[in-house]
Amino acid sequence: MSFDDYMRYMTETFIKHFERPKAERKQIRLKRKESSPPKLYQWFGLMPYSIRMIFKR
């Protein structure tokens, strides 16, 4: 991918983002936030999950 193609892609993405209504952008952001894993698992992987399983028994 050349630099020109990359700039074109970034510009199109930027324009698409700001053409959406503000409420729709906010809804997309909230949906993305809800679908992400908890930060503890995201930062440390499965270790917190396995420790939690050990203590639950």
- Give the SS3 label for residue 57: coil
pLDDT band for position 12 (cuts 50, 70, 90):
very high
pTM value is 0.51
Res 53: pLDDT: 86
Distance, in Å, from the CA atom of 57 to the CA atom of 52, rounded to the nearest integer, reads 9
43 has a pLDDT exceeding 80? no
What string of H, E and C letters represents the secondary structure of 10-56? HHHHHHHHHHCCHHHHHHHHHHHHHHCCCHHHHHHCCHHHHHHHHHH
